[in-house]
Amino acid sequence: MTNPDRSADVCFLLEGTYPFVAGGVSSWVHELIKANPDLSYHLVTLLPHRNSPQTRRYEVPANVVGLTPVYLQDLPAGRRHHPEIPALMRRLEPLLAKLVGGGGGLEEIAEMIRLLRPHADSLGRHALLNSPASWATIVRMYENAMPESSFLDFFWTWRSLFGGLFAVLLAPLPKAGIYHAASTGYAGLLAARARLETGRPMLVTEHGIYTNERRIELALADWLFDGIDTGLRLDQPVRDLRRMWVETFVGYSRACYGAADRVITLYGGNQAMQLRDGADPARMRVIPNGIDVARFASISRPPEPRPPTIALIGRVVPIKDVKTFIRACARLIEAVPDLKALIMGPTDEDAAYAEECRAMIATLDLGRNVEFTGRVRIDDYLGRIDVVVLTSISEAQPLVILEAGAAGIPCVATDVGACREMIMGRDDEDPPLGAGGAVTALSDPAAIAGSIADLLTKAEYRERCSQAIRRRVQRYYNKIELDAVYGELYRDTIAKADAAAMRGAA
């Protein structure tokens, strides 16, 4: 279908994911590309810097015709002496200030693009980050926005936020029939730029809501100091550096939503947050993730005796709250003393957190019960697992629940993302299929342990849950049907845009 005037039918805009990171969004991108072999794809991957790990975790399909990296913290040098930079920085300053102040969006991004475009070949870090004009802009913004905070912290926050912004606005942009961002944030910002500069249609699919995930990460971050010396004052300053980060990313999301032809998410609960950040209800759509139902339904359960087995399947990182799973295991062995608990996922993304989890297991004397498997092929394990557990503090629509459900394995999950509707059913489920496990509050090891114990010790209840979640996945989450939805959306949107372009040229 590729038009000779463009490099690909679909340009995927990806931040920190495919093809260099395994699981989650990366798996979704990989499977979607494979499911539409008649369409060609160009990948733009946004990475922190040139030294970022770039080992491919996937064998990229043959219909991927290009891969362009963009390094958010490695802005090209550009010209060292740029006579127009003082005037340019003065014109950029109110736009940047509006972004950090929480009022920015597509209009500000469009104006930045207009200002930067005539100088795109010569601008870089010398002019935009390291020049006297840039320094003067930082000082004025600091004095106007938060003069009571640490200037040093403000300086590095400014460089990080806007170094990434400038990298995105100046990066090479492949030609494509349609642009598809797999998140808002910097990928969504690049998608908005593509829509503005090329006039081609743009989609965004959010698995998790980017701004919400950044709020969680910033709340947990120990690298970002936002303390302000207020002396003996009782009143606290209104703004701090964490809020500056969040409000800037909200501005990027507004720009993405404002430019998008379709704002897609995996489940209805996400749409309230998209609306809050400015998405147009008329452009919003829910397309859930799907799985290869037949593949997981064919997994058999070996007949030989084994201990009751549960598993947390996911990366060993703070957002998965593996420590709550471990605490739940400590309570659970009181009811199920021969428990076997597997933690199945890579431990190298946050090695310090993984080591803390190992230390907790040793402190709670769980070494005989809890095992780290590392990254594995879950098909080899599901037949020996009785309950899959998710203790995450943030999720979108975790595929592991669907994969386990297709194999008839009940799940216990925290009440995040689409977990409740996958396990308990949507409000409009007709006829209702019943509970496929249990949903608990966040960070509640007692409730999690109790829900798992019910499934492990009550055979009839476990079988009812097994059948309910199996039928739900078969009915609503068949990957073959859902992949076809995206293929049709791509083709229809590209065809309409091509027809409109031809009419305009006539």
Any domain includes 25: yes
Any domain includes 112: no
Any domain includes 81: no
pLDDT at 269: 85
**Do 367 and 473 fall into the same domain?**
yes
Q: Is residue 221 very low, low, confident or very high in pLDDT (cuts 50, 70, 90)?
A: low
Tokens of 189: 């910002």
Q: Is residue 220 very low, low, confident or very high in pLDDT (cuts 50, 70, 90)?
A: low
pLDDT at 261: 97
Q: Which residues, listed in sequence order, are joined to residue 202 by a DSSP beta bridge? A: 179
Any domain includes 434: yes
**Do 233 and 356 fall into the same domain?**
no
Helix, strand, coil percentages, rounded to 5, for the chain: 50, 15, 40
**Do 401 and 334 fall into the same domain?**
yes
Q: Which of 474, 344, 484, 397 is nearest to 24 (CA)?
A: 397
Tokens of 231: 């002396």
Instruction: Flag whether pLDDT at 183 surpasses 50.
Output: yes
Cα 19 to Cα 318: distance, rounded to the nearest angstrom:
23
- 162 within 8 A of 127, measured Cβ to Cβ: no
Question: Which amino acid makes up residue 290?
Answer: G
Q: Which of 260, 280, 248, 275 is nearest to 112 (CA)?
A: 248
Instruction: Flag whether pLDDT at 242 surpasses 80.
Output: yes
Cα 136 to Cα 138: distance, rounded to the nearest angstrom:
5
Q: Percentage of the chain with pLDDT > 90?
A: 76
**Do 399 and 284 fall into the same domain?**
no
pTM of the model as a whole: 0.81
**Do 227 and 353 fall into the same domain?**
no
**Do 283 and 297 fall into the same domain?**
no
Strands 309-313 and 387-390: parallel
137-160, pLDDT tens digit by residue? Answer: 999 999 998 888 889 999 999 999
pLDDT at 77: 93
Instruction: Flag whether pLDDT at 187 surpasses 50.
Output: yes
263-283, pLDDT tens digit by residue? Answer: 999 988 889 889 999 999 999
Q: Is residue 230 very low, low, confident or very high in pLDDT (cuts 50, 70, 90)?
A: very low
The DSSP 8-state label assigned to residue 136 in this structure reads H
**Do 300 and 400 fall into the same domain?**
yes
pLDDT at 235: 46
Question: Which amino acid makes up residue 41?
Answer: Y
88-123, pLDDT tens digit by residue? Answer: 999 999 999 999 988 899 999 999 999 999 998 999
Length of the chain as a residue count:
506
**Do 282 and 312 fall into the same domain?**
no
Instruction: Flag whether pLDDT at 2 surpasses 80.
Output: no
**Do 397 and 282 fall into the same domain?**
no
Any domain includes 152: no
What is the three-class DSSP state of 47?
strand
> What range defines the domain where residue 473 resides?
293-477
Instruction: Flag whether pLDDT at 331 surpasses 50.
Output: yes
**Do 334 and 428 fall into the same domain?**
yes
Cα 494 to Cα 180: distance, rounded to the nearest angstrom:
12
- 44 within 8 A of 12, measured Cβ to Cβ: yes
* Mean pLDDT of the chain, nearest integer: 92
Torsion of CA 484, 490, 495, 496, to 10 degrees: 110
Any domain includes 115: no
Any domain includes 383: yes
Cα 138 to Cα 444: distance, rounded to the nearest angstrom:
44
**Do 270 and 326 fall into the same domain?**
no
CATH number at 353 reads 3.40.50.2000
**Do 224 and 373 fall into the same domain?**
no
Any domain includes 110: no
Cα 360 to Cα 354: distance, rounded to the nearest angstrom:
10
Q: What count of other Cβ atoms lies within 10 Å of the Cβ of residue 126?
A: 19
Domains identified in the chain, total number: 2
